[in-house]
Chains A and B, each alone.
Chain A
Amino acid sequence: MADAARVITPTPTPSPSPQGGGERTERVPSASLEVAKAETKLRSAFTERIGGAAEYVVIPALALAMALVAFGIFVALFGKNPIDLYFYMYQGAFGTGFSWRNTLSRAAPLILTALCTALPAQLGLVIIGGEGALLMGALAATSTALVLQGAPPIVVQLAMVAAGMIAGGIWIGISGGLQHYRGVNETISSLLLVYIALAILNHLVEGPMRDPSSLNKPSTREIGAENMIGTIPGLDVHWGLAFGIIAAVLSYVLIFHTTFGFASRIAGGNVRAAKVVGLGVGRLILITCFLAGAAAGLAGMVEVAAVQGRTNANLAAGYGFTGILVAFLARHNPLAVIPVAILLGGINASGGLLQRRLGLPDASVLVLQGMIFIAVLASETLYGRFRIFRQWS
């Protein structure tokens, strides 16, 4: 910082005004030096904030651009025109009203699953099991709706929200609890829980909960058209998007404007320091992981109540895994998660068009996501390297 400050303001050299007398020349420079120092301090604090914020936008954007270029080269190796690729990606993601609606409907679960990684990240935990919480949330929501058949739709829907969030919350809460009380690595345990959730889902869908009329694709019975959550009026995108945005804003407030969030960030920075000042780290971990899982569980409820109408293997569409990428790209900031989820939702949405128009395999979206992920992580090394962000004035 001292370096940067020196560059910004010309050092107040002790060059007294020509008219100045001997005595004053001694004092004035030192006084102006104090003022200059204070000014420099203020300005550097200000530029650091703006410059730092700019850094968090510019570097991920650069990483994203690099990944897009790399993906263009990759498809060019298979004889496809990269210009066509970018054009169809844009068309499929944001080109028409239909693609916007498609993008936003996919962004909704991505916001929620990204929160599943972003919230525990405040505590320094790396949770990657959002997919499992999503599946458990979907199962719980479907079961609730099937049990409450005949009740008023609003009651059924609220019960589905509650059931989905509780089931998802418990699922990630297990990972958090195991980490805190047994020292089990939360990254591995949360991923193992994804496979366990998938097994439970397959078991129930093909066994006890199977709708006998679902022949080709084993599924549960439908929750009923009257219990589906509709679309946001005027936008033609299902209410899941609103749920996601509300959850993201609430998470932001929780992390940055409450004592709970403050304590979490302290614990994330240094567990020992947090314990020394008497923070209940276990409670922080359990509550945060529960909330994280609840967000992903809500995503499962949304997928059931707004898209699928029932539970089947279609739900394991990878939203949980893309959510990890969204969280990292947004640097675990809940508000930044919203635009990033829309961007990644757009990339997901363009997959179909790439398949039809360019003949690319459906996995091309996965390759691009992987490239973005790698580029974003590699770009971590660039923070603090560029002087320009420190000298913004």
Chain B
Amino acid sequence: MADGSIGWWVVPVAVIGGALRVSTPFLFVSLGECITERSGRINLGLEGNLVMGAMCAYGTSYLTGSPWLGVVAAGAAGAILGLVHASICGLPKVNDIAVGIALMLFGTGLAFYLGKPLIEPTAPILPAIDFGWWSSVPQVRAALKINVLFLIGVALAPLILWALATTRWGLILRTAGESADAARAMGYSVNAIRMRATMLGGFFAGIGGSFLSLYYPGSWNEGLSSGQGITAVALVIFARWNPMLCFWASLLFGGAAALGPALQSVGVSQGYYLFNAAPYILTLLIMIITCSPKRTLIGAPAELSITK
């Protein structure tokens, strides 16, 4: 074996490298969903934002030659889908969970429709920073090639935590999430607050999608995202609506998602598909362990429809 120098250590190294790489979309989607849910609304449609973001990013990067413009386009597409979600949910008697399901189907369908001509061509992808220059082991070097978007995500998590906790905007947003009546009594429009929160959440989810098509796996096709969006929504519950916990949870999920490819790289091809299902099984197990029918979840925004 060519990597005989480090033997089975390849697997943990690849899992860690994978965690750093694969976690980025989880991170962005969960941060976005965290903001939306703290305002008291759940957007289950972020899977649609993710796929639309991936398609828009790839198309823009292909047409303009600039992957960073692609990232911006992905964010914009995500924000527009968020706007659609918020506008419909703003109408009386409309169920936000159902609208999320509809937008998940609509977003993926629209992305497949518009992205048909993008399957063939190759677009310029995002650069990575080489943090593994000190190592002579190629696997370590590969694992420590870190994309700039991941670093932005790492910076965003504490920033959002701080903004939610201490800024005026964060306070208003949390008020809308904890008690719509209180927010109204203070003279704020709950709908307007939630609309902005949903758009911002959609924006981040779109950027998460741009990572998929512009870095890893780094191409556009219809099987690009298989449920990362919905896994990330579940991850927010696990992370107790705390942006920093979202970050750690994303790393964990990224590692789980990297397990299949890591084992395949050392020649374990048995059960490849089952290992690929690891993030979903992990999500389910974590939800089973952390949820409880008897009490409301700690940290859950009181206005959220799934915990009410």
Beyond contacts A178-B284, A182-B287, A193-B284: 17 other A-B pairs, Cβ-Cβ < 8 A, are: A126-B101, A182-B291, A184-B284, A185-B287, A185-B306, A187-B44, A187-B101, A195-B226, A195-B277, A199-B280, A207-B270, A321-B105, A324-B105, A361-B112, A365-B109, A373-B101, A378-B94
- Within 42-72 of B, Cβ neighbours of A (below 8 Å) are at 44
- Give the distance in Å from the alpha carbon of A324 to the alpha carbon of B98 in the complex: 10
- Give the distance in Å from the alpha carbon of A369 to the alpha carbon of B203 in the complex: 24
**A383 partner residues in chain B, CB cutoff 8 A:** 93
In the complex, how many angstroms separate the beta carbon of A21 from the nearest chain B beta carbon?
Answer: 54
Q: Is the CB of A373 within 8 A of B227?
A: no
**B105 partner residues in chain A, CB cutoff 8 A:** 321, 324-325, 366, 369-370, 373
Is A33 an interface residue, CB under 8 A from the partner? no
Is A364 an interface residue, CB under 8 A from the partner? yes
Please give me the residue from chain A that is nearest to B297 by CB atom.
A183
Q: Is the CB of B110 within 8 A of A367?
A: yes
**B109 partner residues in chain A, CB cutoff 8 A:** 363, 365-367, 369-370
- Give the distance in Å from the alpha carbon of A193 to the alpha carbon of B227 in the complex: 11
Q: Is the CB of B280 within 8 A of A195?
A: yes
In the complex, how many angstroms separate the beta carbon of B258 from the nearest chain A beta carbon?
Answer: 16
Offer 16 A-B interface pairs, CB within 8 angstroms, sorted by A: A178-B287, A182-B287, A191-B230, A192-B227, A194-B227, A195-B226, A196-B284, A199-B276, A202-B273, A328-B98, A366-B108, A367-B110, A370-B102, A373-B105, A374-B102, A381-B94
Is A380 an interface residue, CB under 8 A from the partner? yes
Sorted from nearest, which 7 A-B pairs have the closest CB atoms? A370-B106, A366-B109, A199-B277, A363-B112, A373-B102, A183-B293, A381-B91
**A371 partner residues in chain B, CB cutoff 8 A:** 106
**B95 partner residues in chain A, CB cutoff 8 A:** 377, 380
**B99 partner residues in chain A, CB cutoff 8 A:** 374, 377
Q: Which of B163-171, B209-217, B231-239 lines the interface with chain A?
A: B231-239
Is B32 an interface residue, CB under 8 A from the partner? no
- Give the distance in Å from the alpha carbon of A196 to the alpha carbon of B116 in the complex: 27
- Give the distance in Å from the alpha carbon of A182 to the alpha carbon of B234 in the complex: 15
Q: Is the CB of B284 within 8 A of A192?
A: yes
Is A308 an interface residue, CB under 8 A from the partner? no
Main secondary structure of the interface of B (DSSP, over half): helix
Q: Is the CB of A192 within 8 A of B273?
A: no
Q: Is the CB of B88 within 8 A of A377?
A: yes
**B103 partner residues in chain A, CB cutoff 8 A:** 370, 374
In the complex, how many angstroms separate the beta carbon of A82 from the nearest chain B beta carbon?
Answer: 16
- Give the distance in Å from the alpha carbon of A195 to the alpha carbon of B280 in the complex: 7
Please give me the residue from chain A that is nearest to B278 by CB atom.
A199
Q: Is the CB of A192 within 8 A of B93?
A: no
- Give the distance in Å from the alpha carbon of A364 to the alpha carbon of B222 in the complex: 14
Please give me the residue from chain B that is nearest to A179 by CB atom.
B293
In the complex, how many angstroms separate the beta carbon of B168 from the nearest chain A beta carbon?
Answer: 32
Q: Is the CB of A367 within 8 A of B277?
A: no
Is A388 an interface residue, CB under 8 A from the partner? no
Residues A188 and B234 in contact in the complex (CB < 8 Å), given A321-B105, A363-B116: yes
**A183 partner residues in chain B, CB cutoff 8 A:** 291-294
Q: Is the CB of B84 within 8 A of A374?
A: yes
Chain B contacts to A: CB under 8 angstroms: 44, 84, 88, 91-95, 97-99, 101-103, 105-110, 112-113, 116, 222, 226-227, 230-231, 233-234, 237, 270-274, 276-277, 280-281, 283-284, 287-288, 291-294, 306
Is A200 an interface residue, CB under 8 A from the partner? yes
Residues A361 and B293 in contact in the complex (CB < 8 Å), given A195-B227, A195-B277, A324-B101: no
Partner of B94, one of A189, A363, A367, A377: A377
Is A180 an interface residue, CB under 8 A from the partner? yes
**B273 partner residues in chain A, CB cutoff 8 A:** 199-200, 202-203, 206
**A181 partner residues in chain B, CB cutoff 8 A:** 293
- Give the distance in Å from the alpha carbon of A184 to the alpha carbon of B288 in the complex: 6
**B101 partner residues in chain A, CB cutoff 8 A:** 126, 128, 187, 324, 373
**A324 partner residues in chain B, CB cutoff 8 A:** 101, 105
- Give the distance in Å from the alpha carbon of A364 to the alpha carbon of B116 in the complex: 11
Q: Is the CB of A370 within 8 A of B110?
A: yes
In the complex, how many angstroms separate the beta carbon of B182 from the nearest chain A beta carbon?
Answer: 24
Residues A189 and B284 in contact in the complex (CB < 8 Å), given A200-B274, A374-B102, A381-B93: yes
Q: Is the CB of A374 within 8 A of B88?
A: yes
In the complex, how many angstroms separate the beta carbon of A196 from the nearest chain B beta carbon?
Answer: 5
Q: Is the CB of A192 within 8 A of B283?
A: yes
In the complex, how many angstroms separate the beta carbon of B195 from the nearest chain A beta carbon?
Answer: 15
Partner of A196, one of B233, B281, B294: B281
**A189 partner residues in chain B, CB cutoff 8 A:** 284, 287
In the complex, how many angstroms separate the beta carbon of A340 from the nearest chain B beta carbon?
Answer: 15
- Give the distance in Å from the alpha carbon of A102 to the alpha carbon of B42 in the complex: 38
- Give the distance in Å from the alpha carbon of A386 to the alpha carbon of B290 in the complex: 45
**A196 partner residues in chain B, CB cutoff 8 A:** 277, 280-281, 284
Q: Is the CB of B106 within 8 A of A192?
A: no
- Give the distance in Å from the alpha carbon of A367 to the alpha carbon of B294 in the complex: 40
In the complex, how many angstroms separate the beta carbon of A112 from the nearest chain B beta carbon?
Answer: 19
**B94 partner residues in chain A, CB cutoff 8 A:** 377-378, 380-381
Q: Is the CB of A381 within 8 A of B106?
A: no
Q: Is the CB of B113 within 8 A of A366?
A: yes
In the complex, how many angstroms separate the beta carbon of A319 from the nearest chain B beta carbon?
Answer: 13
Q: Is the CB of A182 within 8 A of B288?
A: yes
**A376 partner residues in chain B, CB cutoff 8 A:** 102
- Give the distance in Å from the alpha carbon of A362 to the alpha carbon of B93 in the complex: 34
Please give me the residue from chain B that is nearest to A366 by CB atom.
B109
- Within 353-393 of A, Cβ neighbours of B (below 8 Å) are at 361-367, 369-371, 373-374, 376-378, 380-381, 383
In the complex, how many angstroms separate the beta carbon of B290 from the nearest chain A beta carbon?
Answer: 9
In the complex, how many angstroms separate the beta carbon of A73 from the nearest chain B beta carbon?
Answer: 14
- Give the distance in Å from the alpha carbon of A366 to the alpha carbon of B284 in the complex: 28
Please give me the residue from chain A that is nearest to B306 by CB atom.
A185
Q: Is the CB of A374 within 8 A of B106?
A: yes
**B277 partner residues in chain A, CB cutoff 8 A:** 195-196, 198-200
In the complex, how many angstroms separate the beta carbon of B169 from the nearest chain A beta carbon?
Answer: 28
- Give the distance in Å from the alpha carbon of A322 to the alpha carbon of B188 in the complex: 39
Q: Is the CB of A188 within 8 A of B280?
A: no
Q: Is the CB of B107 within 8 A of A370?
A: yes
**B98 partner residues in chain A, CB cutoff 8 A:** 126, 328, 377
- Give the distance in Å from the alpha carbon of A178 to the alpha carbon of B289 in the complex: 11
In the complex, how many angstroms separate the beta carbon of A186 from the nearest chain B beta carbon?
Answer: 10
